[in-house]
């Protein structure tokens, strides 16, 4: 009824709705308002949802009417809808519509129109919540390697020769980045030929279940096809693959040809089985990063994955398998972008101790904390607040703490050092720095995007983002040099959202080492060396002003990773972000409006459990948005109960 009532208001005033779509909507789009005002934007707390690209006229009209709640009917000129985007009052996004412009005139007219309307409900005529959407995904490179290992005993990791995967929404398994290029298709073909040849090398194969015969051909196709396609083959498929045997000179050659062909089929390369078989496959690739085992196939065939209870029984079993630890390690590595850390470089003149061994130690430190919180059923929000860590001697030296009795023993962190949780670890502090210095901007962006799930808008095209050079005449620290970002109208709207966060980490250098002063080294340039004006670098020790804050979170001022970790751990947006990050990894897609109810239910279960990560996994794996039960009616009984 709400949606109908709001739609009726919009349709009852078609000329006004046309005015909004023609004049006001383009102004809001031009101002980039949608970049912050969405569930993953830095202004997500306003609960203002902009219509998506390609929205219908009714959706846009309804959105215009929903803006009524940002209008003061008694003082329209003082309405937030007018005052904030024009920068007349404090606005995190700064000035988005220039006062006195035609865009402001159109917005003002719309504000006056809304002020004359009765108060509208919060919900509009946008798309109503519908069934969960299952993304069509292909196997990631690691899933491909693990699948051919478990299917055929292939241990060579053939996907290492495939084209590199792209990170989208923070992960490499997102459906929208998984189209198959000609190079990828060629790589699949070569890999399938080599894997099938290896499986039947020497004229025999472990996958042949019976003595070679006509009857065995059909049995082989059915049994191998079930495992390769993660579902039973229908009669037509079975007959087609059996006919392949006739093209080969003998049984083994025929089996090899069938295997090679199946490994290039979309039914092998993509996650597309329907019903319970699809649920089994998605569970397996989520929790094990590989194909289902015999028990999961049995449960799917027996119809046991039609209920939440049946799914949770399998999930609990699967979480006790070592493969679950490996899969969640992969989730952590992608969430925290270990790949960036592994490829990071540092100026050897400034950071001679930065080695591959130190990077490996940083990654393992983060992994040890994650594993403890997940598998020991601790409060996962300690990921941000843990006042302890697990260290080897080289990291202990970097952090300036006593070395543990044994490598990777748990040790307490000195409160005076300001470290706690992931924000105090070398992983975060290093991968958000530059080769020669820290980067407050990158550190702020990482916190926003990875721990708050807020999308920071990109800089305008063609913008020169370079900072003033450091010179002997004017040696400046990072905070002073970045001040240009906060004073420039073009830069400030974004940089005021991220730079103040990064400033709170300035006591930690580009490899995560604590420092009291910021060391500025000005090295000789080529011309200076040529003219022999200066032959040695000049060094300056500058004071550090390490106060930071997170705009949009009340009382968020902090001076150390430990203080910010406490702020994030209790922040609802951060708690929900943990859920969103696992959702993206598990489903292979970005969350949508239709997913809100499920995300909220899963978050409630996570929170009520004391933030036990296993409960988050159980809630997500058993939800309709992951299993696809909403499409096939499988969980209707459980939801009604």
Predicted confidence (pLDDT) per residue in 113-138, tens digit:
787 766 544 434 334 445 567 778 89
The torsion angles phi and psi of 120, rounded to 5 degrees, stand at: -100, 155
Sequence-distant (6+) residues with CB within 8 A of 366 are: 332, 336, 422, 425, 427
Helices (H), 376-414: 382-385, 393-399
Say if CB 95 and CB 492 are below 8 A apart: no
Say if CB 444 and CB 498 are below 8 A apart: yes
Which pLDDT does position 7 carry in this prediction? Answer: 43
Say if CB 446 and CB 432 are below 8 A apart: yes
105-109, 166-170, 448-452, 580-584: segment of lowest average pLDDT:
105-109
Residue 8 has pLDDT above 60, yes or no: no
Residue 23 structure tokens: 């004049």
Count CB atoms within 10 A of the CB of residue 158: 22
Long-range contacts of 583-586 (CB under 8 A, 24+ apart): 583/620, 583/625, 583/626, 584/169, 584/170, 584/171, 584/174, 585/171, 585/173, 585/286, 585/331, 585/334, 585/335, 586/282, 586/286, 586/620, 586/621, 586/626
Residue 465 has pLDDT above 80, yes or no: no
Count CB atoms within 10 A of the CB of residue 291: 24
**Cα 79 to Cα 6: distance, rounded to the nearest angstrom:** 21
Reduced to 3 states, what is the DSSP secondary structure of residue 478?
helix
Distances (CA, A) of 617 to 73, 184, 247, 582: 46, 32, 47, 8
Q: What is the CA radius of gyration of the chain?
A: 29
In DSSP terms, which residues pair with 411 in a beta bridge? 389
Reduced to 3 states, what is the DSSP secondary structure of residue 272?
coil
Residue 15 has pLDDT above 60, yes or no: no
Residue 515 has pLDDT above 70, yes or no: yes
Residue 58 structure tokens: 């009714």
Hey, CA dihedral for 108, 92, 47, 455, is it positive or negative? Answer: positive
Count CB atoms within 10 A of the CB of residue 432: 26
Which pLDDT does position 54 carry in this prediction? Answer: 66
Which pLDDT does position 520 carry in this prediction? Answer: 79
**How big is the CA angle at 521 (ends 519 and 526), to the nearest 5 degrees?**
170
**Cα 225 to Cα 239: distance, rounded to the nearest angstrom:** 12
> Tokens 């039973």 correspond to what residue?
232
Distances (CA, A) of 514 to 101, 340, 348, 560: 49, 22, 18, 11
Which pLDDT does position 345 carry in this prediction? Answer: 95
Ramachandran class of 170: left when φ > 0, alpha when ψ lies in -120 to 50, beta otherwise: left
Residue 45 confidence class, pLDDT cut points 50, 70, 90:
low
**Cα 221 to Cα 245: distance, rounded to the nearest angstrom:** 10
Residue 12 has pLDDT above 50, yes or no: no
Average pLDDT over residues 474-483: 71
In DSSP terms, which residues pair with 611 in a beta bridge? none
**Cα 507 to Cα 546: distance, rounded to the nearest angstrom:** 6
Residue 497 confidence class, pLDDT cut points 50, 70, 90:
confident
Sequence-distant (6+) residues with CB within 8 A of 416 are: none
Cβ density class 339-355: b for 16+ within 10 Å, e for less: eebeebebeeebbeebe
> What pLDDT, in 10s, does the model give residues 320-373?
999 999 999 999 999 999 999 999 999 998 999 999 999 999 999 999 999 999
Residue 43 confidence class, pLDDT cut points 50, 70, 90:
low
Residue 73 structure tokens: 């009917």
Which pLDDT does position 464 carry in this prediction? Answer: 58
Residue 418 has pLDDT above 90, yes or no: yes
> Tokens 């999930």 correspond to what residue?
315
Average pLDDT over residues 395-413: 92
How would you class 518 by CB atoms within 10 Å of its CB: exposed for 0-12, middle for 13-18, buried for 19 or more? buried
**Cα 404 to Cα 527: distance, rounded to the nearest angstrom:** 49
Q: Compute the mean pLDDT over every residue in the chain, rounded to the nearest whole number.
A: 84
**Cα 234 to Cα 577: distance, rounded to the nearest angstrom:** 42
For the chain, how many residues are written? 641
**Cα 24 to Cα 37: distance, rounded to the nearest angstrom:** 16
Residue 114 structure tokens: 């809304």
Between 359 and 55, where is the model more confident? Answer: 359
Residue 11 has pLDDT above 70, yes or no: no
Residue 80 structure tokens: 């937030």
Residue 401 structure tokens: 């703490």
**Smallest Cα–Cα separation from 297: which of 390, 223, 351, 360?**
223
> Tokens 């929900």 correspond to what residue?
576
Helix axes 613-621, 275-287, angle to 10 degrees: 160
Hey, CA dihedral for 129, 36, 555, 381, is it positive or negative? Answer: positive
176-180, 225-229, 384-388: segment of lowest average pLDDT:
176-180
Say if CB 420 and CB 433 are below 8 A apart: no
In DSSP terms, which residues pair with 409 in a beta bridge? 391
Residue 241 structure tokens: 């693959």
Long-range contacts of 564-567 (CB under 8 A, 24+ apart): 564/384, 564/423, 564/447, 564/501, 564/504, 565/384, 565/385, 565/420, 565/421, 565/422, 565/423, 565/424, 566/384, 566/385, 566/420
In DSSP terms, which residues pair with 542 in a beta bridge? 518
**How big is the CA angle at 49 (ends 46 and 51), to the nearest 5 degrees?**
160
Ramachandran class of 480: left when φ > 0, alpha when ψ lies in -120 to 50, beta otherwise: alpha
**Cα 281 to Cα 136: distance, rounded to the nearest angstrom:** 13
**Cα 211 to Cα 545: distance, rounded to the nearest angstrom:** 77
């Amino acid at each position: 009824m709400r949606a109908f009532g709001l739609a009726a208001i919009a349709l009852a005033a078609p000329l006004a709705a046309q005015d909004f779509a023609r004049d006001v909507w383009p102004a809001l789009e031009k101002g980039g308002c949608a970049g912050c005002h969405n569930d993953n934007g830095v202004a997500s707390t306003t609960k203002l949802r902009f219509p998506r690209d390609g929205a219908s006229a009714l959706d846009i009209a309804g959105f215009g009417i929903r803006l009524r709640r940002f209008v003061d009917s008694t003082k329209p000129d003082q309405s937030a809808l007018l005052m904030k985007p024009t920068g007349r009052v404090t606005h995190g996004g700064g000035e988005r519509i220039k006062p006195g412009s035609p865009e402001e005139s159109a917005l003002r007219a719309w504000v006056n129109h809304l002020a004359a309307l009765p108060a509208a409900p919060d919900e509009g005529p946008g798309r109503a919540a519908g069934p969960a959407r299952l993304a069509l995904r292909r196997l990631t490179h690691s899933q491909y390697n693990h699948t051919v290992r478990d299917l055929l005993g292939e241990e060579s990791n053939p996907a290492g020769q495939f084209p590199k995967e792209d990170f989208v929404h923070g992960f490499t398994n997102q459906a929208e980045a998984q189209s198959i290029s000609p190079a990828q298709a060629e790589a699949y073909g070569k890999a399938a030929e080599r894997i099938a040849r290896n499986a039947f090398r020497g004229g025999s194969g472990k996958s042949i279940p019976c003595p070679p015969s006509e009857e065995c051909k059909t049995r082989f196709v059915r049994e191998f096809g079930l495992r390769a396609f993660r579902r039973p083959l229908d009669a037509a498929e079975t007959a087609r693959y059996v006919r392949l045997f006739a093209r080969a000179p003998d049984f083994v050659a025929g089996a090899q040809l069938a295997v090679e062909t199946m490994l290039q089929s979309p039914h092998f390369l993509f996650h597309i089985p329907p019903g319970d078989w699809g649920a089994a496959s998605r569970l397996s690739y989520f929790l094990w990063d590989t194909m289902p085992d015999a028990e999961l196939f049995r449960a799917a065939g027996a119809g046991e994955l039609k209920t939440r209870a049946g799914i949770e029984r399998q999930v609990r079993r699967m979480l006790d398998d070592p493969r679950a630890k490996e899969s969640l390690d992969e989730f952590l590595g992608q969430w925290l972008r270990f790949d960036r850390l592994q490829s990071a470089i540092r100026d050897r003149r400034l950071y001679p101790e930065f080695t591959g061994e130190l990077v490996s130690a940083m990654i393992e430190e983060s992994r040890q904390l994650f594993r403890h919180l997940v598998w020991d059923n601790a409060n996962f929000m300690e990921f941000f607040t843990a006042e302890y860590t697990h260290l080897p001697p080289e990291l202990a030296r970097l952090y300036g703490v006593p070395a543990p009795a044994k490598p990777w023993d748990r040790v307490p962190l000195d409160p005076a050092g300001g470290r706690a949780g992931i924000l105090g670890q070398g992983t975060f502090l290093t991968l958000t720095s530059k080769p020669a210095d820290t980067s407050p901007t990158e550190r702020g962006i990482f916190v926003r995007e990875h721990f708050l799930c807020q999308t920071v808008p990109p800089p305008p095209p063609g913008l020169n983002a370079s900072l003033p050079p450091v010179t002997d005449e004017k040696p400046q620290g990072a905070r002073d040099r970045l001040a240009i970002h906060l004073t420039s109208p073009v830069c400030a709207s974004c940089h005021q959202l991220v730079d103040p966060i990064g400033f709170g980490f300035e006591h930690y250098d580009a490899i995560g080492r604590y420092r009291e002063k910021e060391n500025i080294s000005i090295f000789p340039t080529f011309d200076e060396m040529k003219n022999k004006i200066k032959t040695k670098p000049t060094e300056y020790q500058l004071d550090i002003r390490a106060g930071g804050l997170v705009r949009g979170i009340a009382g968020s001022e902090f001076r150390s990773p430990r203080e910010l970790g406490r702020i994030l751990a209790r922040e609802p947006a951060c708690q929900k972000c943990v859920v969103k990050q696992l959702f993206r990894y598990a489903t292979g897609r970005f969350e949508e409006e239709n997913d809100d109810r499920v995300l909220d239910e899963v978050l409630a279960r996570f929170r009520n459990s004391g933030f036990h990560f296993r409960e988050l996994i159980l809630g997500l794996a058993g939800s309709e948005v992951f299993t696809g039960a909403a499409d096939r009616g499988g969980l209707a009984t459980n939801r009604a109960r």
